Each structure stands twice: as C-alpha cells, then as structure tokens.
Structure 1
Amino acid sequence: MKRIFRRLLAAVLLVAFAVAAGTFIPRPLLAPSRAAEETGQRRILVLSNPIHTDIAIPLSKDTRAAFAFLGRAGVPVTDPRAEWLVIGWGGRAFYLETPTWGDLKPLPVFRALTIDRSVMHVDVAGGIDENHPTVMPFDLGATEFQRLSDFIQTSFVRQADEVAVVPDAAYGDSDRFFEAHGYFNAFAGCNTWTAAALRAAGLRTGLWNPLPQTLTLSLKLFN
C-alpha cells in the first residue's frame, strides 16, 4: 500500500508540475513582433467556463463574407441581431452528448480522457459583456486577425469545398457541429486548440494549457 501511495503521490506531483510549468513558461519564449497597426483594429473575445474555452470574433461585413460557408450550413451569420461568431473545438462524444452537466454520461467522459475524434461547434451571439469575469478581450491588427481567421477556417474538414456538418447535432436553433481536423484527448484538448489559435494571431500563451484556468492566467501574464 505504501508503494502504491508513493507512486500515486509522484504521479499527482508530476501532473501538478507539468500544469504549473505549462502555465508559467510562455510560448513562444520571446514575444513576437506585433504589427504597428494592431491597436484597436479588431477585437476578439476568449470565453471560458470551468472546462472549456471558445473564441468569439466580431460579425461585420467582411467576416460575414469570410464565414459565409457557415451560413450555407445553417449558422445564421447574416442575421443582423448576431454580433459575434462563437467557435470552439472539442471531443466529439463529450461535445455532442453533454449540452449541460445534467447530461453527463460515463462513456463521453471516458472518450474525453482517452482519445476521440474532434468536432467544431459554432454559434452566434448578440451583445457580450466584456467586463464579465469569464470574458477576455484582445485587440488584433489586421494581419493577426487574418491569421486567426485562417487558423479557424483550416480546422474544419471540407467535402467538395463545403464544411462537413455533423447531422442532427445542435444544442439549439442557431448552432451547428462540424467535422474537424485532429484528435481530442486529455493532453491535447479544446483549450490547447484555443491556445494554438491565439498564438497564430500573435498572442502568447503558456507552454501547455489543458485547462481554461491555466490558459486565461497565461494570457494575463504574457499579453
């Protein structure tokens, strides 16, 4: 029993060390040079809950056009009441089968802790309170914003030049799920995808951010 306890304690300490190092070691190590035009060009939002993060990008004439492929798939990107496009990446089983905590089931949790296919979840939103503690705003220059948009768009699986919709999968009337590139697991999950997208936009994150709390802390520290 003592040997088992020591091994369990060592494993817990190793994970704690990895999470701490992943939070407090920046990625990239050196701050990238930002475009001189960056200030106030485009504001994006990072939205978080206890286990997941999304990226919200503003819906304007050009972004509605750039993401028109989502409109053809049923996401109302042209609705004048829609101000934000909210996008996240995650594990197929957990994402699709757990719209609320009350829907939590053992199999999706098991798939999330091992390995699963990935999906994109897309929705629209009206006004979002940027002062809410679960919302982090960032201003990007035109070049950085385009890189973020490109990263997001290339995360979708396409078939015959259209994104692949997951049939009969949605939480409500305005959202849709789509097939995505990559595989989900506990070490490379939804928050590591968000971090990678933000790095593509020139922001710095922690070295490894599997949790929303570590990602948001690293964003505060390094940006």
Structure 2
Amino acid sequence: MPTLYLMAAIYGAIIPGSAVPDTAEKTRSILLVSGSIHYDLVLPLDDMTLERFAPLAAKGIWLDHPSAEWLVVGWGAQHFYTQTRASTDLGLYALWRGVVGDSSVLRFDIAGALPDDLDARRLALTDREYATLLDEVWGSLTTGADGLPIGTDVDGFNQTDGFFAAKGRFNILRTCNVWIGDKLRAAGLRFGIWTPMPLSVSLSFDLYQAE
C-alpha cells in the first residue's frame, strides 16, 4: 500500500492540471518553503498581500511589524498540525487522525529577512495570478458573521503566529501539500494534478515552474 501511494503521488505530480496561461508580465514572486513535514506558501508582504489579509491584524497577526517582510501560510489537519511542530513530535493519535480525516486549520505567521540557504523554491506570477492566489488562500478560511477569521483555542508555535479554522477536511488523499497544488492551479499556474507529498510538490515545481 505505501508503495502504491508513493507511485500515485509521483504520477499526480507529473500529470499537470489544466491552466489558462496569462501572457502579462510576471511582476510578483512567491516562495514554496519546505519544512520537516510539509510545504508552506511564503508571500511577500507587499501592497496586495497587506490589503487582502488586513483582517488578520485584528486577530493577532502582526502584519505591520517593522521587521516583517513575508507572510507564511500553511494548511493542515487540526490535531496533526497544531500538535506536531517537528517530525520528532509525531504521535500515533495525530498520525491516525491525519490518515482517517480531521477538520482543517490554516496557520499564518510573519517572517523577516530570509536566510540565503533557505530550502525554498521561487515562483513568478502575474498580478492577476497573484490576486487570484490571495483570494484562494483567503477563501480557505472559515469566517464569522463579522467577516473575520475564526481563531482556534490552541497556541501557535511562537509569539507571532496563529491557527485559524479552515474549510475542508484533511485526510490521506487531501493533504497539506495537495492544498498547495490546488491553490497554485487555481491561480492559473501549471502544476501537478495531485501532490500529496513534499516530494510531489518538489517534482511538480521542477517540471513546470522552475525558472
């Protein structure tokens, strides 16, 4: 079974989803940053990002921090993601919930200047593609009657991040890395049709988005 899953994860990364090319100049740039468990989207805190995610400031995400340059975004299973900061924290219950299914959360954090040796992949987008990506990420949040994201009752990993309720359920077929691929394709980028593993994201990027 693990072998079949791995093979499917590779094929899913190789087969591109449909995309409508945008011929406008690619003026925006984002990063895919690989962690010990999954990939994060890392978005520049530019004018478009600050405007789209301004409501997060009311929920404790310090977007206007004087040293903030990037917004880090990750989606995942509520129990697995909030309780597993690193692979060494992985427990059987969290793993089981990740396999059979769990509600989902989005984690937001800010970052300053990034180290030169960061394991990151850079993607170039047009303004339209970037605006769509921002809308897609925001659309993954569950919001309240006030239009603000709904926070969770778990602590973040540090002093600047936070977890928020998200739409959709996490399971072994719809992982955090699948979410990454879904958002990139929805923005119009050419990317693998199913990317459940970090390997899938890396392979699909190298095939279709490497500059």
TM exceeding 0.5:
yes
SS of 1:32's partner is: coil
Instruction: Report 1:51-200 matches (<5 A).
Output: 51-129=37-115, 132=118, 134-160=119-145, 161-200=147-186
SS of 1:90's partner is: strand
* 1:207 Cα deviation from its structure 2 partner: 2.1
- Contact 1:57-1:86 within 8 A present in 2 as well: yes
- Contact 2:52-2:135 within 8 A present in 1 as well: no
TM-score computed with the length of structure 2 as normaliser: 0.92
Instruction: Report 1:193-212 matches (<5 A).
Output: 193-212=179-198
Given candidates 23, 27, 34, the residue that maps to 2:17 is: 27
* 1:131 Cα deviation from its structure 2 partner: 5.7
Alignment match, 1:14: 4
Name the aligned partner's letter for residue 67 of structure 1. Answer: F
SS of 1:219's partner is: helix
The alignment-based identity, stated in percent, is 35
Judging changes above 3 Å, is the alpha-carbon distance between structure 1 residues 113 and 12 closer, same or farther for their aligned structure 2 residues?
closer
Judging changes above 3 Å, is the alpha-carbon distance between structure 1 residues 12 and 126 closer, same or farther for their aligned structure 2 residues?
closer
Name the aligned partner's letter for residue 209 of structure 1. Answer: T
SS of 1:54's partner is: strand
TM-score computed with the length of structure 1 as normaliser: 0.87
- Contact 2:36-2:86 within 8 A present in 1 as well: no
* 1:37 Cα deviation from its structure 2 partner: 2.3
Detail structure 1 runs of 4+ shifted over 6 Å in the superposition. none
Count of aligned residue pairs for this structure pair: 208
Looking at structure 1, the residues matched to 79 and 4 of structure 2 have their Cα atoms a distance apart, in angstroms, of 28
Looking at structure 1, the residues matched to 166 and 16 of structure 2 have their Cα atoms a distance apart, in angstroms, of 27
- Which segment is superposed worse, 101-110 or 213-222? 101-110
Name the aligned partner's letter for residue 158 of structure 1. Answer: T
Name the aligned partner's letter for residue 21 of structure 2. Answer: S
Could you tell me which runs of 5 or more consecutive residues in structure 2 were left unpaired when the two chains were aligned. Answer: none
* 1:116 Cα deviation from its structure 2 partner: 0.4
Judging changes above 3 Å, is the alpha-carbon distance between structure 1 residues 131 and 172 closer, same or farther for their aligned structure 2 residues?
closer
Judging changes above 3 Å, is the alpha-carbon distance between structure 1 residues 98 and 35 closer, same or farther for their aligned structure 2 residues?
same
Name the aligned partner's letter for residue 127 of structure 2. Answer: A
- Which segment is superposed worse, 144-153 or 105-114? 105-114
Looking at structure 2, the residues matched to 216 and 173 of structure 1 have their Cα atoms a distance apart, in angstroms, of 30
* 1:63 Cα deviation from its structure 2 partner: 2.0
Looking at structure 2, the residues matched to 15 and 164 of structure 1 have their Cα atoms a distance apart, in angstroms, of 34
Name the aligned partner's letter for residue 110 of structure 1. Answer: W
- Contact 2:37-2:87 within 8 A present in 1 as well: no
- Contact 1:129-1:135 within 8 A present in 2 as well: no
